[in-house]
Chain A
Amino acid sequence: MKTKIFAAMLVVLGAVPLAQAQQTAPPADKGEYVARAGDCIACHSVVGGKPFAGGLKMGTPLGAIYSTNITPDPETGIGNYSLADFDRAVRGGVAKDGHNLYPAMPYPSYAKITDDDVRALYDFFMKQVPPVKQANKPSEIKGVMGIRWPLAIWNMLFMDKGVYVAKKDHDDAWNRGAYLVEGLEHCGACHTPRGLAFQEKGLDASSGAFLQGAELDAWSAPNLRGDLRTGLGGWSKDELASFLKTGHNDKAVAFGSMIDVLNNSTPYLSDDDVNAMAAYLKSLPATTQQAAYVYNDAATKELQSGKPQQPGAAVYLGNCVSCHGADGKGQAPFIPPLAGNPAVLDGIPSSLINLVLNSAEPLVVKGMPDAYRMPQYRVQLTDDEIAQALSFIRGAWGNDAPAVTSAQVKAMRPITDPSSDRVIVLKMR
């Protein structure tokens, strides 16, 4: 288990989307649109708090840090920031007082934002966002690690400076998609594996590691490249666009930290922008050669016989079959299929274990909470039963992912326990 550090579960108290806005059309205000695309609110707010007032606790390998108040309050927020100050923070990772921001702020991605968009964003924060007086919390990174100047070196090593430059060999839509995916939407923050220094191993399409999938916050953010089984190689561009628009398509339903993206960001983008992102993502080549997923009904027949041979099939029959079906096809687009779902085929089972134990926070697309939710099984199934059920699912209907062990489930329990205070609550979003 790579990172026990990034546990991620908040108590789900019902649908509490951060965004108050309920509009169905893309935001008319350009700055707000850019803020949506940058999903600033996901990190710079807490559930029940004021928008953009910060305070979200984020676990890092060195200790917890807190997102800051980015409302235009002059004392506690960014009210005294000039456009240049603002720009230096967003695209350069340096605050007005000269201290380096922790790279939990995805400034290596935001560096690609255009001047126009930065200005629009600045105007939005200064003029549209109500100021909130709320002091920032100091980071909990202790001792020598708390000194921020090495971050400047980090920035030299790991930041690609410069605004996004259109690639001549791609069309406008692709370039717009690249700008959004690599830049504003900072998809790599979760989906690109990180190196020893916590840096993303690739920041754009030129890197094979970019969006290759990564484990973070006790979730496995899936591979977004063209891999046929574990990536999005089996999804059409339209299916991808539908997912970004609604969190649903016929192949999957969003979960984990992606919930924040759907609750606050991509559904608010224009169809053109979402299609551009989909087109761009579809262009990323596979990193591994995989045979296309082919459905196989052997498990269906085993389940329908009522005489499950594998222990996991029995658990599936008792707990999962009513929603996800004996055929593993779910009830798309409302309830996801398990057959051929890239999240099920993911080599890292963290997301699956996490989902079974804890369910997911509610998906609230444009203010409308999802009609159906996954139940939690933390208090209902043992480690053995969950491992058996997931191993069955990962081998059924043509799926071919490695089995899940009881030890993996056991390890995930405490770090994702919503009722435990020991959890390092946090999120890299």
Chain B
Amino acid sequence: MITLTVNGTQHQVDLEPDTPLLWAIRDAVGLTGTKFGCGIAQCGACTVHVNGQAMRSCSVPIGGLDGANVTTIEGLSPDSKHPVQAAWLAEDVPQCGWCQSGQIMAAVAFLKQNPAPTDADIDAGITNICRCGTYERLRRAIHRAADLMKA
């Protein structure tokens, strides 16, 4: 039994220690905003925050996470008004939307470290895949979010 605090609520997860956090979140905790894309930490669709750090949850075994604090897209803000979410809306970023929870969670963590990023910083710092190709808007949205966070 592994104890996880997900979005502020404590959960006892009765799964094997090699289970990736992704599946614990989706299947045991029951939050489906975190998405499965590749299973090998290549696409980032499953990005969540573990103790404040962005991690690709498909490649994080829960065995090492007892007592960890996990934030998923559902817990990012109570009203979907986090500056990154607001910027995403303003730029109409998502298309199919499957990768976007991960993109947003990656961007939130990224902006904490780089509150005023350049395009080059963004290109190097956000490596999540979007198959619909929303990168143009995504880049703009990160800049917009940075501005919103400053304001």
Contacts and interface: CB of A to CB of B under 8 A. Distances in A.
Given A306-B113, A326-B53, A372-B59, A314 B124 contact: yes
Interface stretch (A27-35, A119-127, A165-173, A330-338): A330-338
B124 A307 contact: no
Contacts, number: 47
A307 B18 CA distance: 32
Interface string B31-64: 0000000001110100000000111100111011
Given A306-B110, A373-B40, A322 B59 contact: yes
Interface residues of B, number: 22
Interface string A334-350: 11000000000000000
B127 A319 contact: yes
Contacts of A331: 59-61, 64
A412 B37 CA distance: 30
B125 interface: yes
A371 B18 contact: yes
Interface in A300-344: 304-307, 314, 317-319, 322-323, 326, 331-332, 334-335
Contacts of B61: 331, 334-335, 371-372
B113 A318 contact: no
B5 to A, nearest CB: 19
A331 B61 CA distance: 7
Nearest to A320: B41
A61 interface: no
Interface in A356-396: 371-373, 375
B124 A334 contact: no
B150 to A, nearest CB: 17
A360 to B, nearest CB: 13
A322 B56 contact: yes
B43 to A, nearest CB: 10
Given A307-B113, A317-B124, A334 B63 contact: yes
A307 B118 CA distance: 12
Interface string A188-226: 000000000000000000000000000000000000000
Nearest to B114: A306
A335 B60 CA distance: 9
Contacts of B127: 318-319
B55 to A, nearest CB: 6
Contacts of B56: 322-323
Contacts of B18: 334, 371
A305 B114 CA distance: 8
Contacts of A319: 127
Given A306-B112, A318-B124, 16 more contacts: A306-B110, A306-B114, A317-B124, A317-B125, A322-B44, A322-B55, A323-B59, A331-B59, A331-B64, A334-B18, A334-B61, A335-B59, A335-B61, A372-B40, A372-B59, A375-B41
Interface of B: 18, 20, 40-42, 44, 53-56, 59-61, 63-64, 110, 112-114, 124-125, 127
19 contacts: A306-B110, A306-B113, A306-B125, A307-B113, A307-B114, A318-B125, A318-B127, A319-B127, A322-B55, A323-B59, A326-B53, A331-B59, A331-B60, A331-B61, A331-B64, A332-B64, A334-B64, A372-B59, A372-B61
